[in-house]
Amino acid sequence: MYSDLLTRALGRGEEEHRSDELLLADLVDSRVRLHVTDAPAPVAEALAREISYDGALIRLCKALAVRATPEWFESPRRERARLERELLRRGILLPPLHLRGA
């Protein structure tokens, strides 16, 4: 179900016209929104944040020739971690996750 929502959220074509720098900025912004919050988010908002982050992650990975597809998000945490490791191997260090309450 999550991969279906992610597939729909990705839409089509728009990311092909964006620079790698814009895709990275989108990913970093989504990552910050995903992990920085003062209180627990309602379920729908938390899901929207995850989909936004994972969509940005997929778009950047595809732009950098890293194999990524929504169908592989059956276990979102595991696939997210795999893609983040692939980006790290390419020299892209994402902000740490311990920014809560900062």
Quick one: DSSP state of residue 101? T
DSSP 41: P
Query: The pTM is what?
Result: 0.80
Q: What is the pLDDT, as a whole number, of residue 102?
A: 39
pLDDT value, residue 21: 81
Calculate the CA 51 to chain-centre distance.
Answer: 7
Structure tokens at 87: 């980006």
Instruction: For the chain, give the mean pLDDT.
Output: 84
What count of other Cβ atoms lies within 10 Å of the Cβ of residue 56?
Answer: 22
pLDDT digits (tens, 9 = 90+) for 34-57: 766 666 778 888 888 899 999 999
The helix (run of H) or strand (run of E) holding residue 82 is: helix 76-89
Domain ranges for the chain, please list them.
2-89
Residue 74 burial (10 A CB sphere; 0-12, 13-18, 19+): exposed
pLDDT at position 23 over 80: yes
Q: How far apart are the first and last CA of the chain?
A: 33
